[in-house]
Amino acid sequence: LLTARGVTFALRDDGAVFAAGNGAGSFEGVEPSHRGEFVRVPGLDGAAEITLASSSPAMVCARLAAGGVRCRRGALDPIAIRDLDDARQIAGRCAVRAGGGVACWGLNDLRATAVPLTDVVRLGSFDDLHCAVRGNGAVACWGAVGTVLDPTASTRVSATPEEVPGITSAVSIAVGPRSVCVALALGSVVCFGRRSAFQLGAEENVGPTVVSGASDVRTLSTNAGLRADGRVV
């Protein structure tokens, strides 16, 4: 499941993609756009993974089991991302390629463009902010990095990935609108960006900060972690 701005997308076991909530009807090209139950999103069958490529306007992309990535925005016909037949994981408008490289695309330019990164194992993304976990456990971010990396320039944009200092054993990552959280190899969690987004505290930007009470975490979503014993923190 993926949820943002009142719309929820679901991927079924057979590869079909569904949407419900505010704006879901626009993917069928009908009004009113609100749907109280899930409706099928045409043109994305055969999906192995889905991601929210944009929250406003809502764009959902699917990595297909047969290869390639296809996206749909509202009632517009689904479009295949060009030059991206070897995606092995997608997040937002970026994908990890089979060799560990990364490629991203725009809302209007649906052609994969290489990002100068190698040995990437996981991606996280929220709108124009993207972060990657590398094979050595380091984390690098690009795009709207001022949101989480630079307290003095919240609108700063970087086309070149910038390594986050102090993180050396990341295994999972979740990117939100104002913060990024990372699960480390030993199960602890660190977050950076706007402190109030992940802890009760002042409206200030901070570097990687340990989240108290989050231990033995294996996978993350925004502001939540799944522990090895099946419990959620």
**DSSP string of 31-73?**
SS--EEEEEE-TT-TTEEEEEEEEETTEEEEEEETTS-EEEEE
CB 203 within 8 A of CB 196: yes
For residue 29 the two structure tokens come to 């090209």
Instruction: Look at the pTM and tell me if it is higher than 0.85.
Output: yes
**DSSP string of 175-227?**
E-SSEEEEEETTS-EEEEEEGGGTSSS-S-EEEEEE-TT--SEEEEETTEEEE
Radius of gyration of the chain (CA): 18
Residue 231: other Cβ atoms inside 10 A: 10
Give residue 113's pLDDT: 94
Residue 157: other Cβ atoms inside 10 A: 13
Please tell me the distance from the alpha carbon of residue 24 to that of residue 75, in angstroms, as a whole number. 10
For residue 55 the two structure tokens come to 């929250």
Please tell me the distance from the alpha carbon of residue 58 to that of residue 108, in angstroms, as a whole number. 13
Give the residue from 111, 178, 166 showing the smallest Cα distance to 140.
166
CB 21 within 8 A of CB 31: no
For residue 101 the two structure tokens come to 């490289």
Give residue 4's pLDDT: 72
CB 219 within 8 A of CB 184: no
In order of 20, 110, 125, 200, the CA distances from 142 in angstroms are 31, 19, 10, 26
For residue 20 the two structure tokens come to 């419900």
Query: What stretches in the chain show pLDDT beneath 50?
Result: none
Give residue 32's pLDDT: 60
Give residue 217's pLDDT: 93
Give residue 202's pLDDT: 62
Give residue 197's pLDDT: 64
